[in-house]
Amino acid sequence: MDEERQSNVRQTGPRVAYPTFRIWVMMTPMPRRSSGRAKGRPSKGRRVVIFPRLPLAAEGALRDLVARRGLTLSEIGAELFAEGLRNLSELPAPLPMRYSPAESEDMTVRIPEAEGAKLRALAKQLDRSLAIVSGALIEIGLRHAGELPGQIPVQYMTTQEQLLTTKAS
């Protein structure tokens, strides 16, 4: 039995004597952060996730805007949602009860909690789903997309503009 145990034990070579100094001692020390946490992009604050439903035409315009601005779909969606809240008077009176999957597209947008509370109150007041109301607000924001802060002049043609120029020639 004792011989069996010895044969199962892995044989290792002699221990290597490493130098007692460490390379990092020779390097200049990096400054320590006071909070102990890694620094990165500052927090945008607490956010809620919404899932707006947009008609396909509005979704196409939104994707063109995303391509021009170079931001994510969620970031542009949040900006347009906020712009829609600022122009709430343009909200169409009869919002649809729902969209069929064939005529609409879902997306994910992260908005500040305060705007999420306004959305819930507005959806309750209009007796519509959060997805329909948030999609309508993003559509309003699309109409005012030229007024968004941080606009960069368009240097390249959008896909729709390219199609128009190729069809015209």
Which tokens in the block code for residue 52?
A: 């707006």
pLDDT tens for 58-72 read 888 899 888 888 888
Q: Quick count: other Cβ atoms within 10 Å of Cβ 128? A: 18
SS3 64: helix
d(CA 78, CA 99): 21
SS3 35: coil
Percent of the chain with pLDDT over 90: 30
| pLDDT for the residue numbered 17 | 61
Q: What pTM value is reported for the model?
A: 0.64
Residue 50: enclosing H or E segment and its boundaries?
strand 47-50
Q: Quick count: other Cβ atoms within 10 Å of Cβ 154? A: 10
pLDDT tens for 95-149 read 888 888 888 888 899 999 999 999 999 999 999 999 999 999 999 999 888 776 6
* Residue with the two structure tokens 């109150």: 121
| pLDDT for the residue numbered 71 | 85
d(CA 69, CA 167): 25
